[in-house]
Amino acid sequence: MFVQVCLYFYCKCLWRCLKFVVRKLTGQCELQRICYNTKPGAARTMKIEASLKGSKSKRLQTSVSVHPDAIEKTIDDIMELKRINPDINPQLGVSLQACLLQIVGYRNLIAEVEKLRREPYDSENPQHEEMLLKLWKCLKPSSPLKARISKQWCEIGFQGDDPKTDFRGMGLLGLYNLVYFAEWDTEIALQVLSDSLQPKYSYSFAIVGINITDLAYNLLVSGALKTHFYNVAPEAPTLTHFQQTFCYLMHEFHKFWIEEDPLDIMEFNRVREKFHKRILKQLQNPEMALCPHFAATESLINM
């Protein structure tokens, strides 16, 4: 243990000495070298984030957790601390701002998603009830719901006659994601629902959707989704980005389930874990953007 601690501090000191030498040779600080030598996206933003967090300056360390409204001032503070002339290096400020918007935005997105996850479904809340009924209308447009408490809910994959009990694990987040999928990716959602009802692929659509919400939530909180969001969101990733990612994961899991051809629903946990590992492996690639239709925008490319 003592040797490991000594090795850690030795490597840390050696790294700082190396950075000092490189700065003297190039005339650029680490932040400049990253922005000038790494293209926009996850590769750049994650390097900037690591550099700021690993700085010996408290001001730089805390810059990754400032309020979005304070980012512009934070950039000015960084430039001043690093003795960088913004008039000579105008693009640096733009690049740093784009990175900080993504870094701070990711932290705020976790907080927003966590708030929804912690909010329980309340059948006495008209907004909650309205969202639940919207889910039914989107998925079963030609089949009116006969009663709020009804076995019909099983037709879209809930376990009983009142869906509110199925949202306990993920709270409102599960409902938000299912409604988004049904409303904005309707064609695919209806196809997935239809396939899930076939004896060959049988699984509970809504319950699996809540389970995939849990998977997406854990990918977000662990930081694994940084690769994806930093590549697709030119500025701060939003709840919409998260919901679009859920749609992608839901569709991909459905295809993966069919490929795996499980004997029955009892193999769900095995298939889910295998799918989770595949997604994690994909996200290790700094160029990765999970959703093909979320290509980087021109604004990201030009930063």
Per-residue pLDDT band for 298 (boundaries 50, 70, 90) equals very low
Same-domain pairing of 264 and 129: yes
Q: At what angle do helices 30-37 and 2-26 cross, to 10 degrees?
A: 70
Q: Residue 198 and residue 257: Cα distance in Å, rounded?
A: 13
- Domain stop point among 99, 117, 135: 117
- Are the beta carbons of 239 and 113 closer than 8 angstroms? yes
Kindly state the tokens that stand for 84.
């960088």
What confidence score (pLDDT) does residue 89 get? 81
Same-domain pairing of 100 and 234: no
Question: Domain for residue 139, yes or no?
Answer: yes
The number of folded domains in the chain is 2
Same-domain pairing of 268 and 138: yes
pTM over the 0.75 mark = yes
What confidence score (pLDDT) does residue 3 get? 53
Same-domain pairing of 111 and 132: no
Reported as a single tens digit per residue, the pLDDT across 207-251 is 999 999 999 999 999 999 999 999 999 899 999 999 999 999 999
What confidence score (pLDDT) does residue 29 get? 85
Question: Domain for residue 267, yes or no?
Answer: yes
CA 192 to chain centre: 22
Q: Residue 220 and residue 227: Cα distance in Å, rounded?
A: 10
- Are the beta carbons of 217 and 85 closer than 8 angstroms? no
Q: At what angle do helices 205-222 and 171-184 cross, to 10 degrees?
A: 110
What confidence score (pLDDT) does residue 292 get? 56
Same-domain pairing of 112 and 78: yes
Same-domain pairing of 185 and 278: yes
> Residue 202 corresponds to which amino acid?
S
Question: Domain for residue 4, yes or no?
Answer: no
Helix (H, G, I), strand (E, B) or coil at 40: coil
Is the pLDDT confidence value at 50 over 50?
yes
Is the pLDDT confidence value at 153 over 90?
yes
Kindly state the tokens that stand for 271.
């298939």
Phi-psi sector, 77: left (phi>0), alpha (psi -120 to 50), beta: alpha
Q: Residue 172 and residue 113: Cα distance in Å, rounded?
A: 10
Domain boundaries, position 172? 125-284
Higher pLDDT, 187 or 263: 187
What confidence score (pLDDT) does residue 1 get? 61
Same-domain pairing of 78 and 182: no
Q: Residue 260 and residue 297: Cα distance in Å, rounded?
A: 35
Same-domain pairing of 276 and 150: yes
Same-domain pairing of 129 and 113: no
- Residue % of the chain over a pLDDT of 70: 87
* Cα end-to-end span (Å), the chain: 44
What confidence score (pLDDT) does residue 169 get? 87
Same-domain pairing of 131 and 46: no
- Are the beta carbons of 102 and 229 closer than 8 angstroms? yes
Same-domain pairing of 106 and 191: no
Q: Residue 80 and residue 241: Cα distance in Å, rounded?
A: 34
> Residue 161 corresponds to which amino acid?
D
Whose tokens are 């690993």? That residue is 54
Give the pLDDT mean for 278-302.
71
- Residue % of the chain over a pLDDT of 90: 74
Question: Domain for residue 3, yes or no?
Answer: no
Give the pLDDT mean for 260-279.
94
Same-domain pairing of 112 and 131: no
Reported as a single tens digit per residue, the pLDDT across 159-207 is 999 999 999 889 999 999 999 999 999 999 999 999 999 988 889 999 9
